[in-house]
Amino acid sequence: MKLIVTGGAGFIGSCFVRMLIRETDHSVAVLDKLTYAGNLENLEPVSDNPRYTFHRADIADAEAVDQVFADVQPDAVVHFAAESHVDRSIFAPQDSINTNVKGTFTMLEAARKYKTARFVHVSTDEVYGSIDEPYDADENYPLKPSSPYSAAKASSDLLVLAYFTTYKLPVLVTRASNNYGPYHFPEKLIPLMISNALENKSLPVYGDGMQIRDWLYVEDHCRGIYSVLEKGTTGEVYNIGGNCSLPNIEVVKRILAATGKDESLIKYVQDRPGHDRRYALTNEKLTKATGWEPRMDFDSGLTATVQWYRENPGWVQRVKSGEYQKFYDLNYTSR
């Protein structure tokens, strides 16, 4: 099978591409703009493989996207490309709208024109908004996104599903919980806290630190997406959760323990505006349909992740030294 993978130079997309090249016979064409979050170093392990090609393009640029579809003639698309960070979407919402909404629309139009046989749209549990105890969201839970990021993702989910209803485009939507693992840009909770702890810098905890997230190891997420690509029913939505709910402060304390650092590094800072209190998912639909289940337990996944960051300080320094990152640090994260 020939696949186009958008956002394949990012954290989760690159894990998916490395997995496909390592474990399947598929050909993979990565379509990526290489924003601050896209990094060809993440794809170095597959760069010499003849089944891998790289196409630099903006998914919101219809002409450029059309050219990639014309070159590749894909059997399937797995659509990861997005502005993926909530804090950045608060700081610069237009990027979220342009990439997550308009970019998804452009991809759908190209898939329709080229009669792509399967279109997997990678989405997030954040579209459900904050979920009160004791409920876990299933796929029919109402959409109530809180941030520009999650509102843009929810909008794109609706657009994708409308293409199934209206045009019979064979789409599938996945909604995963918070991922962690190697190659994660050090702006999200886990990689930021690990890299700060390793550099003896303070660990900024928003508000009271009692917000709850469900943690999913990135390889488990990629196996889940692949099982949906292979076995999912078109027009359907599948949650992909890690069965691992933890308050942020507990995650931070486990990172300090895993890095051998003291809890005095914790610094409570101003809360994020519109901060969702709790995310929680049920995976039953995906497990029933495909047999998928998360394999990695949190402490083993965290140990493997900390080890990767210890072994790759050069990667961390290089991704943090980009111009856009410096601009963002100066204007948003200096608190």
**Residue 21: which H helix or E strand, with range?**
helix 11-23
- Least Å distance between CB 88 and ligand NAD? 9
**Residue 203: which H helix or E strand, with range?**
strand 203-206
Binding range to ligand NAD, per CB under 6 A, among 21-29, 78-86, 202-210, 314-322: 78-86
Question: In the range 86-105, which residues lie near ligand NAD by CB under 6 A?
Answer: 99, 103
CA end-to-end span of the chain: 48
Token pair, residue 139, equals 């796929």
Q: 76 near 1, Cβ under 8 Å?
A: yes
C-alpha dist (Å) from residue 28 to 6, 100, 218, 284, 309:
10, 22, 19, 30, 27
Please tell me whether residue 84 binds ligand NAD under the rule CB under 6 A. Answer: yes
If the CB atoms of residues 59 and 76 are measured against ligand NAD, the closer one turns out to be 59
DSSP state, residue 111: H
Active-site residue among 32, 58, 126, 157?
126
Adjacent-strand bridge partners of 78: 5, 120
DSSP of 263-324, one letter per residue? GGGEEEEPPPTT---B--B--HHHHHHH-------HHHHHHHHHHHHHH-HHHHHHHHTSHH
- Least Å distance between CB 233 and ligand TYD? 28
Active-site residue among 32, 58, 83, 125?
125
Q: How far is residue 32's CA from residue 50's CA, in Å, rounded to a whole number?
A: 18
| Encoded amino acid at 251, one letter | V
Residue 169 CA to chain centroid, in angstroms?
Answer: 23
Q: How far is residue 250's CA from residue 261's CA, in Å, rounded to a whole number?
A: 14
262 annotated active-site = no
Active-site residue among 52, 128, 149, 217?
149
Residues binding ligand TYD (CB under 6 A)? 86, 126, 178, 188-189, 192, 204-206, 211, 213, 248, 272
Binding range to ligand NAD, per CB under 6 A, among 55-63, 108-116, 193-201, 262-270: 55-63
126 annotated active-site = yes
The item of ligand NAD, ligand TYD, none sharing an interface with residue 157, based on CB under 5 to 8 Å by kind, is: none
Name the phi and psi angles at 14, rounded to 5.
Answer: -70, -35
Please tell me whether residue 226 binds ligand NAD under the rule CB under 6 A. Answer: no
Question: In the range 104-123, which residues lie near ligand NAD by CB under 6 A?
Answer: 122
Q: How many residues does the chain have?
A: 335
Residue labelled with tokens 């379509």: 31
The residue nearest ligand TYD at its CB is: 188
- Least Å distance between CB 274 and ligand TYD? 10
The item of ligand TYD, ligand NAD, none sharing an interface with residue 58, based on CB under 5 to 8 Å by kind, is: ligand NAD
Please tell me whether residue 7 binds ligand NAD under the rule CB under 6 A. Answer: yes
If the CB atoms of residues 58 and 276 are measured against ligand NAD, the closer one turns out to be 58
- Least Å distance between CB 136 and ligand NAD? 16
- Least Å distance between CB 137 and ligand TYD? 14
332 annotated active-site = no
If the CB atoms of residues 261 and 272 are measured against ligand TYD, the closer one turns out to be 272
- Least Å distance between CB 311 and ligand NAD? 20
Q: 248 near 271, Cβ under 8 Å?
A: no
- State the residues that interact with ligand NAD by CB under 6 A: 6-7, 9-13, 32-35, 37-38, 58-60, 80-84, 99, 103, 122, 124, 153, 176, 178-179, 185
Q: What residues are labeled active site? A: 125-126, 149
